[in-house]
A and B are shown apart, each in its own frame.
Chain A
Amino acid sequence: MPEARRGEPLSQHVLLIEDEPNIAEAIRFILSRDGWRVSHEADGSAALERVRKDRPDLVILDHMLPGMSGLDILSALRADPETVALPVMMLTARGRDREMAEQAGANRFMSKPFSNAEILAEVRSMMGR
């Protein structure tokens, strides 16, 4: 447990958009223990509204989501001046998806199945920690 970060007054906020409940639970657990504040959304069509409401510092976005695909969500985020620069990490399963995610404006990618250490390292590096 990283004791030094526990006392930070405003821990940074990660919004996790992922429909697989067990993956979401694991990621949430790892990031929370590392001192991040984590909220979770499982439904693609509710994700954009959630971003507007929660105003996260970073979004982890799954590619395959019910309701609205990760790529569509990403495109909508990049089209909105409020979220055009919001750091987004995409979780993808295939190389082809990765290429499309890059074009749509994702900052980082993580291929499934990822390791916990990789996720943590990427999030830290994206947030400059």
Chain B
Amino acid sequence: MPLSSLTGTRLRERRLAAGLRQADVAAEAGISASYLNLIEHNRRKVSGEVLDRLALLLGVDLSAVAKGVDAALMAGIQAAVARGGTDASGTVGAEIDRQDEFVSRFPGWAGLLVALDTRVQTLERAIETLNDRMTHDPHLSQSLHEVLSSLSSVRATAAILAETEDLDPEWAGRFHQNLHHDSERLAAGAEALVAYLDAGSDTAEQGIAAPQEEVEDWLKSHDWAIDDATLSSGLDSEIDGLASTAARSLARDHLARLADDARVLPLAGFVAAVDTHGPDPFALAGVFGCDPLVVMRRLAGLPGLDAGLVLCDASGTLTFRKPAAGFPMPRFGSACPLWPLYAALGRPQQPVEAVVEMAGQGGRRYRVQAWASPRYPFGLRGPELREAGMLILGAEPEAVSTLPIGSSCRVCPRGDCPARREPSILSAAA
């Protein structure tokens, strides 16, 4: 059972809270007091029967102890440090070697830190969006050019009229005419500019929330499972409630696809087949004669299975992320290049399967199955589009060989990784 490095600390806290002596507890558990002392100071890993007995004696919820610190919170803290934790010289200010302790002792503060970090990212994205708009928007650029041009003309012409003492009446008339014409242009240009800026004042439209995250949050509020009847009737009112146009469009596309999947694999027959063959996308695709990606999406929407799912396009960009417990997925940037998802992307139509061990999750293992399908929307001579999917299912402790992977290089503690893209902020502490 994967254990947090703080299991001993928790046991000690419970013993002290119960007012029990170390020697008494050790005797009851059938171990020496010095051994218990080592366990309590996290110097010996404790597992199996000894842990069961200690947990029983101290009235500790074993699953809570074994689960250790909140993996999502931990991943959030690591991401926060990765993004903003270094000073100008590249030194990490935060005590990374004690982040376990921080998250478990102060989950509220840690949560606040993660929330603040998320907010900073959101604001940074909004600034980037606005900046892009200022520099690349052709309408804005055109309006500004128009205003500056007419203003230049007004200024030069007005100065001639004001400063030339012996101006020929014919020239004066001409410049007055130009001035009139340019002031009209200036007014029209300014109006266009104001209208443009007014129309774009909806903050939700300016990328304050990433559309993909908005859709994922919404699906999460449905526990990632939308039943077939709801799919076929649609969820228009809820989708209309999403903040950005992009999110509404993504949500509609996603639901349409789920509805198609439901038609290919109706629930009753699908559940019966899962009971017979297990949640195996390759076996089930064979049974139903359909694309394994359809099976993966169906499995990810099956209540109670807790299957994680990631989808990516041919550039490797994650287009859909349904997390599995203890399997952190990067919110921004690229994921771990060792994910079997990418192996499948490079070998379309071939099953890729592995048992993986996610870095920094106490040796937690997952069975992952990946598949990629090519598509030719403009016919075989048109561009080839690929989509890859990776289904993530719960731990298999007895697995013999595992593939060590991570979430994303910056927050991955693996020191000897051949696929490393950039230094980790954690490797020093790991």
Contacts and interface: CB of A to CB of B under 8 A. Distances in A.
A1 B155 CA distance: 20
A103 interface: no
A27 B144 contact: no
B156 interface: yes
Interface string A29-45: 11001000000000000
A26 interface: yes
B152 A116 contact: no
Contacts of B159: 115-117
B160 A93 contact: no
A17 B149 CA distance: 14
Contact of A30 (B148, B154, B156): B156
A116 B156 contact: yes
Given A30-B156, A64-B145, A116-B156, A22 B151 contact: no
Interface in B162-207: 163-164, 166, 171, 174-175, 178, 181-182
Contacts of B153: 20, 22-23, 26
A93 B145 contact: yes
B149 A23 contact: yes
B156 A23 contact: yes
Q: Which of B144, B155, B181 has the most CB of A within 10 A?
A: B155
A96 to B, nearest CB: 8
Contacts of A33: 164
A22 B157 contact: yes
B166 A1 contact: yes
A111 B141 CA distance: 16
Contacts of A119: 156
A128 B97 CA distance: 68
A25 interface: yes
Contacts of B175: 25-26, 29
Interface of A: 1, 20, 22-23, 25-27, 29-30, 33, 64, 93-94, 96, 112-117, 119
Interface of B: 135, 144-145, 148-149, 151-157, 159-160, 163-164, 166, 171, 174-175, 178, 181-182
Given A94-B144, A115-B159, 13 more contacts: A20-B149, A23-B153, A25-B174, A26-B156, A26-B157, A29-B160, A33-B164, A93-B144, A93-B148, A93-B149, A112-B148, A114-B156, A117-B159
* 6 nearest A-B residue pairs (beta carbon): A26-B156, A113-B152, A22-B153, A112-B152, A22-B178, A113-B151
17 contacts: A1-B166, A22-B178, A22-B181, A22-B182, A26-B153, A26-B156, A26-B160, A29-B160, A29-B175, A30-B156, A93-B144, A93-B145, A94-B144, A112-B148, A115-B159, A116-B156, A119-B156
